[in-house]
Amino acid sequence: MPDRHHAPEIFDYVIVGGGSAGCVLAGRLSERPDRRVLLLEAGLDDRSLFVRMPAAFVRVLGTERTWIYSTESEPGAKGRSLHVPQGRTLGGGSSVNAMVYIRGDRADYDGWHDAGCPGWGFEEVLPFFTRSEANERLAGRFHGTDGPLRVTDTPYRHPLNAAFVRAAQECGARYNDDFNGEGQLGTGFYQITAFAGERGSTARTYLAPALRRQNLAVRTRALATKILLRDKRASGIVYLDLSRQPVTVAANREVILAAGALATPKLLMLSGIGPADHLRDLGIEVAHALAGVGSNYQDHLETPVIARTREPISLYRSDRGFAALRHGLQWLLFRSGLLTSNLVESGGFWDLDGDGRADLQFHVLPVIVGDVDRAPLPGHGLSLNPCGLAPKSRGEIRLRSTRPSDPVQFRGNYLSSDDDVDVLVKGVRMARRFLGSPSLARLIETELMPGDGVDDDDEAALADYVRRFAKTVYHPAGTCRMGSDAGAVVDPQLRVHGLDGLRVADASVMPTLVRGNTNAPTIMIAERAADFIQRSLN
Q: How confident is the model at residue 74 (pLDDT cuts 50, 70, 90)?
A: very high
Nearest to 69 by CA among 489, 505, 475: 475
According to the model, what pLDDT value does residue 2 have? 41
Mean pLDDT score, 366-389: 93
Contact 101, 518 (CB under 8 A): no
Peptide bond into 450 cis (omega under 30): yes
Please say if the pLDDT value at position 6 is more than 70.
Answer: no
Please say if the pLDDT value at position 4 is more than 60.
Answer: no
According to the model, what pLDDT value does residue 1 have? 41
Nearest to 206 by CA among 192, 216, 196: 216
Q: Give domain 9-537's CATH number out of 3.50.50.60, 3.40.50.300, 3.90.1300.10, 1.20.1070.10.
A: 3.50.50.60
Q: What percent of the chain has pLDDT over 90?
A: 95
Distance CA 430, CA 153 (A): 26
Please say if the pLDDT value at position 418 is more than 90.
Answer: yes
Domain boundaries, the chain: 9-537
Please say if the pLDDT value at position 351 is more than 70.
Answer: yes
Q: Is 338 helix (H, G, I), strand (E, B) or coil?
A: helix
* Beta strand extents in 137-219 (DSSP E only): 149-153, 186-189, 191-192, 194-195, 198-199, 216-219
According to the model, what pLDDT value does residue 5 have? 47
Tell the burial category of 121 from Cβ atoms under 10 Å away from its Cβ (0-12, 13-18, 19+). Answer: middle
Active site residue 475: yes
Distance CA 238, CA 286 (A): 18
Residues 6+ apart with CB under 8 A from 19: 41, 87, 91, 92, 93, 94, 202, 258, 259, 260, 506
According to the model, what pLDDT value does residue 422 have? 98
Beta strands 83-87 and 66-70, pairing class: antiparallel
Contact 474, 84 (CB under 8 A): yes
Residue-wise pLDDT tens digits, 47-59: 999 999 999 999 9
Contact 15, 22 (CB under 8 A): yes
- The number of angstroms, rounded, from the C-alpha of 406 to the middle of its chain's C-alpha atoms is 22
According to the model, what pLDDT value does residue 234 have? 98
Whole-angstrom CA distances from 331 to 49, 192, 326 are 11, 17, 9
Residue-wise pLDDT tens digits, 106-150: 999 999 999 999 999 999 999 999 999 999 999 999 999 999 999
Contact 46, 231 (CB under 8 A): no
Contact 167, 217 (CB under 8 A): no
Nearest to 464 by CA among 431, 430, 415: 415
The DSSP call for residue 53 is S
Whole-angstrom CA distances from 225 to 66, 263, 368, 377 are 19, 11, 40, 41
Please say if the pLDDT value at position 352 is more than 70.
Answer: yes
Q: Is 318 helix (H, G, I), strand (E, B) or coil?
A: coil
Q: Is 35 helix (H, G, I), strand (E, B) or coil?
A: coil
Distance CA 513, CA 504 (A): 16
The DSSP call for residue 58 is G
Please say if the pLDDT value at position 502 is more than 80.
Answer: yes
According to the model, what pLDDT value does residue 538 have? 66
CA contacts within 13 A on the Cβ side of 427: 34
Which of 300, 327, 363, 475 is labelled catalytic? 475
Amino acid present at 357? R
Q: What is the DSSP string of 443-455?
A: TEEEEEES-TTS-
Distance CA 489, CA 505 (A): 12
Please say if the pLDDT value at position 425 is more than 70.
Answer: yes
Rg (CA), the chain: 23
pTM of the model: 0.97
Average pLDDT, rounded, for the chain: 96
Alpha helix segments (H runs only) across 177-292: 202, 208-210, 263-270, 276-281
Q: What is the DSSP string of 467-535?
A: HHH-EE-S--B-TT-B-SSTT-SB-TT-BBTT-BSEEE-SGGG-SS--SS-SHHHHHHHHHHHHHHHHH
Q: Is 263 helix (H, G, I), strand (E, B) or coil?
A: helix
Residue-wise pLDDT tens digits, 522-537: 999 999 999 999 988 7
Stretch (H or E) spanning 397: strand 396-398
Residue-wise pLDDT tens digits, 87-111: 999 999 999 999 999 999 999 999 9
Please say if the pLDDT value at position 453 is more than 70.
Answer: yes
Contact 392, 413 (CB under 8 A): no
Contact 129, 117 (CB under 8 A): no
Whole-angstrom CA distances from 453 to 81, 375, 450 are 25, 21, 7
Distance CA 87, CA 94 (A): 8
Nearest to 381 by CA among 369, 373, 372, 389: 369
Contact 392, 340 (CB under 8 A): no
Mean pLDDT score, 189-202: 98
Please say if the pLDDT value at position 200 is more than 60.
Answer: yes
